[in-house]
């Protein structure tokens, strides 16, 4: 496969751009692999890429029940940040953010990572104190963070209503300038292309229907395209983590809910940063196409429907219009819901399961997109070595019995 | 928008309710000599069914009473309503 370059672009211009090779092979499943990754979203594809590029495991298949990047990878608000309070989370998400910063070059695919800053708003003195605590914790961990006073915030986002009589008065804010947004499908396609180039088979329309387990050890998977033997199996299926675990007779500390988002019609540039308000459960950015991308809170009952509830949507719109009165005449084009796997402490689970050779990467809940490259790297290392990557070690299943939880309720975002 | 059939008030819109999670999660009997694994199971581990699930609902902005539902987590179809403490009915679906 040729690298993308100015030269290749010029060469293909001569033939009217009709002869570009597919970015990855649409592979048929082989009878056996060293590693099978279940789930062709960003996390699964990133895992396959790093298995092949960093850990020397190239006999790998990614099995996707639909099309790659068609699940939660396409059902989020693409925000990337590492502004977490606790050390374990900060190191994991910062590892990911550093990978984001080199990802376009590493993958030879433009993931359109735009470091336009992520702003967290405070609406009370107490929330401002909590923001300051998080700001200091991040800086102690060597992660960029700044507090913003109201004049600075006004210069950054003039459309934001900062008047003291606002329904939700803003008392202050923090910003992580290295945070931003990325192009969701480019992330899936870029990882797919890079993994494919190293020999990984990406198998679409291939749903896993069962796990083969012999004498406490996983030996393969049953799929809608026939059985596939595997030395190791990694599960990266987000909201369906519990469904896959049940195939191994396991139950997880995970609940699946719907998280929804929606976009407006395209507008001229009005907002060139990301604004997050935990207090009123909404967040907004403007995509490169000009659409305002809004995220809402998650529903409060279990769901695999991929449809969000209308009261949550209504609350998000009502609160957003208090923050940005100018958006009241903007038309909404479409919305979507994704099935998110929420763990009790709102932190992921990256761990071997109590079946030899079976590994789980799940529990990312409402904030998995930002972690895509870092998650893939530490999960690949965990699978390849058979023991947790140092950054993944605190995120094991045993923490729920030992009580060593990684409670990220404040930093995990608006939706919990 | 879900229409939730409160057994005391009749069908009301979902805004009036809070879901209290899965039903029939039993506290370990060994509270005198706590077993960490058993308590972790009780506190955190759930079936998280894709399909019919038994769950507790609270009519928070209504009669403020609790009850159980059998609800399909894919279609949201509600197939049974039954009192707290009653065993899970045979699922129709
Ligand atoms: Zn009632």
**93 residues of chain B, pLDDT tens digit each:** 899 999 999 999 999 999 999 999 998 887 677 788 899 999 999 999 999 999 999 999 999 999 999 999 999 999 999 999 999 998 654
Residue whose C-alpha is closest to residue A156's, from A172, A167, A169, A168: A172
Q: Provide, for chain B, the percentages of residues in helix, strand and coil under a 3-state DSSP scheme, each rounded to the nearest 5.
A: 15, 35, 50
Report d(CA A263, CA A260) in Å as an integer: 11
Name the pTM for this structure. 0.96
Strand partners, A334: A263
Distance from CA of A345 to the nearest CA of B (A): 10
Q: Residue B14: helix, strand or coil by DSSP?
A: helix
Contact B50 A255 (CB under 8 A): no
With a cut of 70, say whether residue A414 has pLDDT above it.
no
For the stretch A12-54, pLDDT in tens is: 999 999 999 999 999 999 999 999 999 999 999 999 999 999 9
Determine the average pLDDT of the residues in A323-339. Answer: 95
Distance from CA of A348 to the nearest CA of B (A): 14
This model of the complex carries an ipTM of 0.94
Contact A240 B18 (CB under 8 A): no
Q: What is the pLDDT of residue A411?
A: 67
Beta strand spans in A236-331 (E): 255-266, 274-277, 282-286, 291-302
Helices (H), A141-250: 150-156, 184-197, 241-247
Contact B76 A305 (CB under 8 A): yes
Q: Which domains does chain B have, with CATH numbers?
A: 3-26+34-83 (3.30.2270.10)
Query: In chain B, what is the straight-line distance between the N-terminal and C-terminal CA atoms, in Å?
Result: 21
Question: Taking all residues of chain A, what is their mean pLDDT, rounded to a whole number?
Answer: 95
Hey, what are A19's tokens? 């002869």
Strand partners, B4: B12
Burial class (CB in 10 A: 0-12, 13-18, 19+), A335: middle
Placement of tokens 């977490």 in the chain? A84
Residue whose C-alpha is closest to residue A109's, from A9, A5, A200: A5
DSSP letter at A73 equals: G
Determine the average pLDDT of the residues in A314-318. Answer: 94
Residue B74: which of A251, A305, A401 has the nearest Cβ? A305
* A chain contacts of residue B69, beta-carbon cutoff 8 Å: none
Residue whose C-alpha is closest to residue A171's, from A225, A138, A128: A128
Hey, what are A327's tokens? 């958006």
Going by pLDDT thresholds of 50, 70 and 90, the confidence category of residue A409 is confident
What's chain A's Rg over C-alpha atoms? 21
Strand partners, A112: none
Hey, what are A89's tokens? 């989370």
* B92: number of Cβ within 10 Å: 9
Q: What is the pLDDT of residue A413?
A: 58
């Amino acid at each position: 496969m040729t690298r993308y370059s100015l030269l290749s672009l010029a060469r293909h211009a001569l033939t009217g751009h009709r002869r570009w090779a597919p970015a990855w092979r649409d592979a048929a499943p082989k009878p056996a692999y060293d590693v099978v990754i279940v789930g062709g979203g960003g996390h699964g594809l990133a895992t396959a890429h790093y298995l092949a590029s960093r850990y020397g495991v190239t006999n790998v298949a990614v099995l996707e029940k639909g099309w790659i990047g068609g699940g939660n990878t396409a059902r989020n608000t693409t925000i990337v940040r590492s502004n977490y309070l606790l050390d374990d989370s900060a190191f994991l998400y910062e590892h990911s953010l550093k990978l984001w910063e080199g990802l376009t070059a590493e993958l030879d695919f433009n993931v359109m990572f735009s470091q336009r800053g992520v702003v967290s708003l405070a609406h009370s003195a107490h929330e401002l104190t909590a923001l300051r605590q998080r700001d200091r914790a991040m800086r102690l961990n060597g992660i960029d963070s700044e507090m913003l006073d109201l004049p600075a915030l006004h210069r950054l986002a003039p459309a934001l209503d900062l008047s003291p009589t606002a329904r939700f008065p803003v008392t202050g804010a923090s910003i992580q300038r290295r945070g931003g947004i990325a192009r969701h499908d480019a992330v899936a396609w870029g990882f797919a292309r890079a993994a494919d180039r190293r020999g990984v088979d990406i198998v679409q329309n291939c749903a896993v229907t069962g796990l083969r387990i012999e004498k406490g050890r996983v030996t393969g998977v049953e799929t809608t395209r026939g059985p596939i033997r595997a030395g190791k199996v990694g599960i990266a299926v987000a909201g369906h983590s519990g469904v896959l675990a049940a195939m191994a007779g396991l139950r997880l500390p995970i609940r699946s809910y719907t998280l929804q988002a929606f976009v407006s019609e395209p507008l001229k540039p009005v907002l060139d940063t990301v604004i997050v308000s935990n207090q009123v459960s909404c967040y907004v950015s403007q995509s490169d196409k000009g659409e305002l991308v809004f995220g809402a809170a998650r529903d409060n009952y279990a769901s695999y429907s991929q449809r969000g509830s209308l009261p949550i949507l209504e609350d998000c719109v009502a609160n957003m219009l208090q923050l940005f009165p100018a958006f009241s005449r903007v038309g909404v084009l479409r919305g979507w819901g994704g099935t998110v796997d929420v763990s009790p402490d709102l932190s992921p689970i990256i761990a071997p399961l109590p079946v030899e050779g079976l590994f789980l990467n799940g529990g990312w809940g409402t904030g998995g997109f930002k972690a895509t490259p870092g998650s893939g790297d530490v999960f690949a290392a965990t699978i390849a070595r058979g023991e947790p990557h140092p950054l993944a070690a605190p995120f094991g299943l045993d923490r729920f019995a030992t009580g060593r939880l990684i409670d990220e309720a404040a930093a995990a975002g608006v939706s919990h | 928008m879900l229409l939730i059939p409160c057994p005391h008030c009749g069908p009301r819109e979902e805004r009036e309710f809070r879901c209290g999670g899965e039903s029939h999660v039993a506290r370990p009997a060994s509270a005198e000599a706590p077993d960490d694994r058993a308590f972790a199971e009780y506190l955190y581990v759930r079936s998280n069914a894709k399909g019919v699930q038994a769950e507790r609902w609270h009519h928070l902005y209504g009669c403020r009473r609790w009850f159980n539902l059998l609800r399909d987590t894919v279609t949201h179809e509600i197939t049974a309503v039954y009192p707290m403490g009653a065993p899970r009915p045979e699922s129709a679906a």
